[in-house]
Structure 1
Amino acid sequence: MPSTAVDNPLILRLLGLLVEQPKHQYALAIALNERYPYLNAKSGSVYTLVRSLEAAGWVASTGVEQMGNRPARTVYALTDQGWEVFKERVRRQIREAKVTTSAFVDALAYLGALDRDEAPRVLRERQESLVERIAELAQAGDADLPEITMIEVDFVMHQLRAEAEWIRDLIARIDDGELAWPEKGRTGAD
């Protein structure tokens, strides 16, 4: 849990969208969900975070946009301080971001607790989920944006593809009997 709003993981993405062009809060929420559908960012959260960015001096209002009968919307842009903070966060996170241990990895450590016939079924469900996520990310890309603008999506897709391939190989090893399987109910504490 972030200690302050400006420590929220969405901040880097919000600042990044504002690097591309000034936007109002609703447009930021829409852009976040279009570009990163797996985040499921809520409009209320985006509005709160933008207010926090403004209070920190990282973004400032550049005016109000009114289109048709829609409500007037304040447009925000990065300040010079926001640009410097953004670049420093990019540097720091590329250098220092730790590889997180996911719940999948934790459960994988105990795969042998499942029956030898059940494990491949469960792994296939995971693999199907990965294929769906890869397809979603492929759709999230914007062909009009330069590749560097969406490089993180390419990275995530490579990770997902590598995981799906690894799982496919693991299933084959289980199905072929290549992977030794513990005796049912064996705890290792005999």
Structure 2
Amino acid sequence: MKDAVDQLTPMGVMVLALLREGDMHPYEMVRLMRARRDDRLLTITNGTLYHTVARLQRAGLLDEVGVDREGNRPERTTYTLTDAGVDALVGWLRRELSRIDHPSDFRIALAEAHNLERDDVIESLRLRRNALVDAHASHRDGLAGARTKKVPEQVLVEFERQEVLLEAELRWLDSLLTRLEAAAFPWGPRAFENTDRYLAQRKAAQQ
């Protein structure tokens, strides 16, 4: 399972997460990703998505469940998520939520974190918090030391920015953890899949 997790790309993660919502064909995947503005997280092209689907199928993370055609439209192959695909998705999300050295992958993991159980998310984010505390302390102390040594401020602006961003993320993360630990905060894919908005979005993407 570790190899499958290591080989997953951000697009692969998005595809597996979509299939966890239900069986669908690549055309529907593309339309859903664009409707949900996932293009703010990664570049979405038909070619990249179809290539990703083929690679995930070869890896045994998804499988075909049927081919259909409506009217004069091209044939559409519908795919389903395998048990290995679920395991790879969950493993990747747990890993990337907890680490602070892959900021772009963290955005993907956070967008798809609802595919994990609440306790899994809390555990992974607490690991992330520990790493952020250490990184923030390192930047803060490094800046203080540099200023004591009269290092010119103009060469410290990037360190200063990073220290501020780390402090801000810690505040945001503490707020999120507080919400996650509250039973009143809905969590998980089942928390929204039957809403009118979700069902309408799925129907529109299937057209």
Calculate the TM-score normalised by the size of structure 1.
0.49
Higher gyration radius (CA)? 1
Choose between structure 1 and 2 for higher RCO, CA contacts under 8 A separated by at least 6 residues.
Answer: 2
Calculate the TM-score normalised by the size of structure 2.
0.45
